[in-house]
Structure 1
């Protein structure tokens, strides 16, 4: 019974830590945006949209959005390939499982728990796929909205503020997809044992904090 408890507790603790950090980061972005990379990028995207629409630089806008769309499409496709690979591991669980349990000194070695871990990993990459798909959808919408002249007599409610909102929301989906890729590291190490999952979660949080923050600018 205890090995199951260690595995489930490690998953709950790791998920709670990642969720708590994400919530804290979002509050930080709203309160002090210039102290975070996400907040700074959001402000930069808003200023970029205003400049593009005022100066009518359509080609630059389309090229930039195309790059973002291609990157999100690549990550969504990669998520699908990873899901297919994990499904293949499920089909060969009886052969692969014993090999991965060499370093598993605390967790359960039952096939059922190992299959459960793979299913959680599949769900994680499904979230990544849908996040990147929504990001592609948002970038495509912005491609049309950003080319509406701001001084046109009939704009149908299209303003730089609205366009920037759609662009930032697409970027938020892109960021969420990338976070699920980051969280896949503890989930993969979970296959080797709960202790590795917990250790990698704390290391991941330290790395993300380093990447997400910058000296605040006035």
Structure 2
């Protein structure tokens, strides 16, 4: 009786602990981003995004084809991930509607295998994929809006009009990726609370390494023009002047 009690209540200890570790780390990451953004990868990438927008808007609209290609690549990536999240959500929804008598409720899973707990596992996993889907859809929408603004001809557009959708799209992208990270540990919860807790610890350690930045922010200054034809023209003008000078 004591063995069954420990096995069934293991989820009550390890699962909240794993989720607390994940949520606690992301609150710590948000605090670091608000106080010292240059020490985080998110702030580092946002710095590059703003510098990229400033340089792109200095170019005429007809010469911004390369910028539109970059935006289109981001739209394609967001659309692909949103499609994957939607497909996985559909599969999980179908799985919930099917019989729960499968390998995940067998004795191979060390933890609570009651139908109610199994349903909670699937529902939380489904919620993560739906959040990821919504975030990636918003990412694509904002990049499309930025695409329209960048390609607008014969109009001087304030930089803030483009910086806001691009940085917001990057934020939605980050949230969508984090939702997939949560989905990974919840997916391992299906195999038991122990794999879920271990994966949470490993995930936090890995994310702390990936989210930390030690590279100094570079101030992107425009390079001096180096047009060879202008140099040749200046040299010919100097020679001509020297030739006709008495």
Q: Tell me whether the two structures share a fold, i.e. TM-score over 0.5.
A: yes
TM range (shorter): 0.7 to 0.9
1:13 Cα offset (Å) = 2.5
Task: Determine the C-alpha separation between the residues in 2 that align with 1:94 and 1:102.
Answer: 13
User: What are the superposed Cα offsets for residues 151-201 of structure 1, whole Å, 9 maximum, x if unpaired?
Assistant: 94xx5xx41123112101001101111111111121011111112111110
**Aligned residue number for residue 74 of structure 2:** 68
Does 2:28 correspond to 1:24? yes
Structure 2 unaligned residues grouped into runs of 5+: 218-246
Q: Against the structure 1 CA distance between its residues 17 and 162, is the aligned structure 2 distance closer, same or farther, given a 3 Å change threshold? A: farther
Root-mean-square deviation (CA), in Å? 2.0
Structure 1 unaligned residues grouped into runs of 5+: none
Indicate conservation of the 8 Å contact 1:30/1:39, yes or no: no
Correspondence for 2:41 among 30, 37, 41: 37
Indicate conservation of the 8 Å contact 1:89/1:96, yes or no: no
Moved over 6 A (4+): none
Q: Which has the higher contact order (CA 8 A, sep 6+)?
A: 1
Which structure has the larger Rg over C-alpha atoms?
Answer: 2
**Aligned residue number for residue 180 of structure 1:** 179
Indicate conservation of the 8 Å contact 2:105/2:118, yes or no: no
The TM-score with structure 1 as length reference comes to: 0.88
- More helix by proportion, 1 or 2? 1
**Aligned residue number for residue 170 of structure 1:** 169
84-93 vs 121-130, which deviates more? 84-93
**Aligned residue number for residue 234 of structure 2:** none
Task: Determine the C-alpha separation between the residues in 2 that align with 1:146 and 1:19.
Answer: 37
